[in-house]
Amino acid sequence: MRRPRSSSPTGSSSTTRPAAAHSSPRTAPALGPASSTRRSGSSEAGCWEQSHEATAMNGPRVFAAVLGKDLRLDLRSWDRLGPMAVFAALVMVLLSTALPTTSAASPGWIPALVWMVFLLTSLLGLGRSFQAESEQGTIVLLTQAPCDRGWVFLGKATANWLALLGVELWTAFLCWVLLDVEWGVAWPEILGVGLLGALGLAVVGTLLSALACAARFPVFLLPVLLFPLVLPVLVLASRMTGEALAGDQIASAMWVGLALYDWVFLLIAYFVFDYVLED
């Protein structure tokens, strides 16, 4: 008897499946530790560069914000400029009535009087540099600025410098009215001395004011720290002002010495301000 043929045309081969169906898909090669470390290192370097660039860009913005805030506060309230102007006027009136006319009008007395009055007047303003932040408890916000904290110092120092320049102009006007001082004899030299002298006082005074605001008695600590450090500024500025009023040419060494003092203390204060603000 004949056997029936298989219904499937392929016969026994129909039960077999293609080899491709049993083959597993290819897996991606595993990353070794060297490649993963290389990628993580490059990503960290890129993040650091981006953060560094962002910090560098935020510096001028923080500087402008701090400077604008202090200038607006001074012009609105006059809590700092007002007492400075009144104190300078009282001292100059007292000196004009107490000193003899011959002594007060001589050029030898004028530089010492002007710079001593200017130093005493500047204490009233420098001592209030961080008073608003200290009273309102916002000094912590200065430490959280998204940039190098030296930019905060530059903003504060520039605001103090502009305030001291205003006091200098007011004091010079009082000397012209009460003591008959002719500043027009050598006004370019006197203007340069005033700019550099006020800059030295502003830089040192701002740093010491930040240091003294955390003390128990900042009003007494600031003069003790400020007077010895600004003594070179007073000596050079007084001598240079006296020579300018006398019609003599100011030595180049004095200009270099006063500018070098400002530059050195500006660099020191810029890098030290970060540690002072943390303490």
Render each residue's pLDDT in the chain as its tens digit; 279 residues: 444 444 443 444 443 444 444 444 444 444 444 444 444 444 444 433 444 444 555 878 889 988 998 899 888 888 889 999 999 999 999 988 887 655 444 557 788 888 999 999 999 888 888 877 766 666 666 666 667 788 889 999 999 999 999 999 999 999 888 888 888 878 899 999 999 999 999 999 999 998 887 777 777 888 899 999 999 999 999 999 999 988 889 999 999 999 999 999 999 999 998 888 776
pLDDT on residue 138 = 65
pLDDT on residue 29 = 45
Q: Contact 170/85 with Cβ under 8 angstroms?
A: yes
Burial pattern 107-118, b for ≥16 Cβ within 10 A else e, equals bebbbebbbebb
Instruction: Report yes or no on 213 lying in a domain.
Output: yes
Instruction: Report yes or no on 13 lying in a domain.
Output: no
| CA distances to 5, 106, 145, 148, 161 from 164, in Å | 116, 25, 26, 25, 5
Domain extent at residue 65:
50-278
Instruction: Report yes or no on 11 lying in a domain.
Output: no
* Predicted TM-score (pTM) of this structure: 0.76
pLDDT on residue 140 = 65
Token code pair at residue 146: 């998204």
Instruction: Report yes or no on 163 lying in a domain.
Output: yes
| CA distances to 125, 131, 183, 233 from 118, in Å | 11, 21, 16, 12
Token code pair at residue 135: 């009273």
Cβ-count burial of 210 within 10 angstroms (0-12 exposed, 13-18 middle, 19+ buried)?
Answer: buried
pLDDT on residue 119 = 93
Instruction: Report yes or no on 262 lying in a domain.
Output: yes
Instruction: Report yes or no on 252 lying in a domain.
Output: yes
Instruction: Report yes or no on 44 lying in a domain.
Output: no
pLDDT on residue 256 = 97
Instruction: Report yes or no on 36 lying in a domain.
Output: no
pLDDT on residue 74 = 87
pLDDT on residue 112 = 85
Q: Provide the number of structural domains found in the chain.
A: 1
DSSP assignment letter at 12 = G
